[in-house]
């Protein structure tokens, strides 16, 4: 599939009326040195293009009292990811929702295509008939081993969606598809300053390179705060830049577990805040729509089973340890062992056998007399 370059719906962007402040903060938690590295090659296989097309009819009135109907199509380019092994795909709700930004883009498209001058897309408000979205799922050929890499795009079914203020999650399904590599979802929301990596297909990269060979971009940062929408739905602020095209992609923790969906960026002047959806809200949304989530291997599993159940996107390799550190630790261990052996030997040489230990003399009791020389014994005769 080749992505169209005509018209697109931009990534979710919101203007903030006031300076944003963090609502919740927590101390920085040190990362465990044994934490697994993110396996980008495994994660890549789960990341997909989500291309949504809206066909619309717009009635344009003219000054002479007549009207003309014009048809146009607007596209939204987002990212998605497999959330089950049976073809379910998660993405952002605004990627498949007909919101006000979409309507403005439709008007702008008609104005540009028809060459209307003096009309502003934000102000016209022309009557519009908008059809249901057509959603295509695909992967670029640059993803090695992807189930859809380089193949013809497949139409997906829209099962459920949430508006931006209600959670901004959406669930798609490719019918009759099996063996899709699902990413694992974290069990709880990340803490402030916890590391996070946002994954997706930025439009800027696709428009300045061979889009057919594009691979997902990985942008790392940390959690900035936890905040809430106007309807009380929690969401997570991160300092990673989420740009158009990355919407709908996963943000993962250091274990490669998804902790939210790339949602929106809010800007005011030169300042910007980036949001991902809430972990528990995402889990609840998916399970309530019949998705069986990928779960981590249990600790009681046998080694063979544990190896088979390692979540997709997590490397099984141990963290790299510098050789100089290994050598230093080995020398210190040997030195401690040698000193212990010498100390034990010295203690054995100095210690007398128990049979030769001299017990201290008991102090004489008051009724005991110190006998003098035998000649002075008063009970001996001359």
**Which two tokens mark 48?**
């997909």
pTM, two decimals, is 0.70
Q: d(Cα 92, Cα 95) in Å, to the nearest integer?
A: 5
Q: What is the pLDDT of residues 32-61, one digit of tens each?
A: 333 347 899 999 999 999 999 999 999 999
Residue 160: closest CA among 334, 285, 253:
285
- Using an 8 Å Cβ cutoff, are 41 and 293 in contact? no
**Which two tokens mark 379?**
């009970």
Residue 339: predicted pLDDT: 78
Residue 264: Cβ within 10 Å count = 20
Query: Which residues have a Cβ under 8 Å from the Cβ of 139 and sit 6 or more positions away?
Result: 47, 48, 49, 146, 147, 148, 149, 150, 151
Q: Is 354 helix (H, G, I), strand (E, B) or coil?
A: helix
For 219-239, b where at least 16 C-beta lie within 10 A, e where not — what string? bebebbbbbebeeebbbbbbb
CA dihedral 102, 105, 106, 109 (to 10 degrees): -160
Partners of 13 in the β-ladder: 265
Residue 304: predicted pLDDT: 45
Of the chain, the end-to-end C-alpha distance in Å amounts to 136
Q: d(Cα 313, Cα 309) in Å, to the nearest integer?
A: 12
Residue in the structure block whose two tokens are 């100390």 = 343
3-state DSSP helix/strand/coil % of the chain, to nearest 5: 20, 30, 50
Q: Is 351 helix (H, G, I), strand (E, B) or coil?
A: coil
Three-state secondary structure string covering 137-179: EEECCCCCCCCCECCCCEEEEEEEECCHHHCCEEEEECCCCCC
CA dihedral 259, 260, 265, 266 (to 10 degrees): -90
- Using an 8 Å Cβ cutoff, are 217 and 200 in contact? yes
Q: What is the pLDDT of residues 214-223, one digit of tens each?
A: 999 999 999 9
**Which two tokens mark 104?**
């403005």
Below-50 pLDDT ranges, the chain: 1-2, 4-11, 13-36, 298-318, 351-382
Q: Is 207 helix (H, G, I), strand (E, B) or coil?
A: helix
Residue ranges of domains in the chain, CATH in brackets = 8-28+36-293 (2.40.10.120)
Q: Is 212 helix (H, G, I), strand (E, B) or coil?
A: helix
- Using an 8 Å Cβ cutoff, are 250 and 238 in contact? no
Q: d(Cα 271, Cα 148) in Å, to the nearest integer?
A: 38
């Amino acid at each position: 599939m080749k992505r169209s370059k005509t018209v697109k719906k931009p990534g979710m962007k919101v203007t903030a009326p006031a300076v944003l402040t963090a609502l919740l903060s927590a101390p920085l938690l040190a990362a465990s040195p044994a934490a697994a590295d993110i396996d980008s090659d495994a994660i890549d296989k789960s990341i997909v293009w989500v291309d949504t097309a809206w066909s619309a009819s717009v009635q344009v009135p003219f000054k002479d009292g007549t009207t003309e109907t014009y048809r146009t199509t607007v596209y939204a380019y987002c990212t998605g990811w497999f959330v089950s092994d049976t073809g379910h795909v998660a993405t952002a709700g605004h990627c498949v929702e007909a919101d006000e930004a979409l309507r403005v883009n439709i008007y702008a498209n008609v104005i540009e295509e028809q060459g209307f001058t003096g009309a502003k897309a934000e102000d016209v408000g022309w009557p519009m008939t908008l059809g249901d979205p057509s959603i295509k799922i695909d992967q670029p050929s640059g993803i090695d081993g992807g189930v859809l890499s380089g193949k013809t795009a497949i139409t997906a079914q829209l099962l459920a969606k949430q508006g931006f203020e209600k959670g901004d999650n959406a669930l798609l399904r490719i019918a009759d598809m099996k063996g899709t590599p699902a990413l694992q979802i974290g069990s709880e929301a990340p803490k402030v300053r916890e590391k996070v990596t946002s994954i997706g297909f930025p439009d800027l990269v696709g428009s300045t390179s061979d889009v057919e060979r594009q691979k997902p971009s990985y942008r790392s940062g940390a959690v900035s705060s936890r905040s809430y929408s106007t309807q009380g739905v929690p969401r997570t602020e991160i300092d990673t830049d989420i740009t158009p095209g990355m919407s709908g992609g996963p943000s993962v923790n250091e274990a490669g577990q998804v902790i939210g969906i790339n949602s929106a960026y809010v800007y005011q002047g030169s300042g910007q805040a980036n949001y991902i959806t809430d972990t528990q809200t995402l889990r609840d949304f998916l399970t309530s729509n019949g998705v069986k989530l990928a779960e981590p291997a249990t600790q009681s599993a046998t080694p063979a089973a544990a190896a088979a159940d390692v979540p997709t996107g997590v490397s099984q390799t141990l963290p790299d340890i510098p050789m100089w550190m290994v050598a230093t630790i080995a020398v210190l261990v040997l030195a401690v062992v040698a000193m212990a052996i010498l100390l034990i030997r010295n203690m054995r040489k100095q210690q007398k056998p128990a049979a030769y230990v001299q017990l201290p003399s008991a102090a004489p009791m008051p009724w005991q007399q110190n006998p003098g020389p035998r000649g002075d014994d008063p009970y001996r005769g001359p």
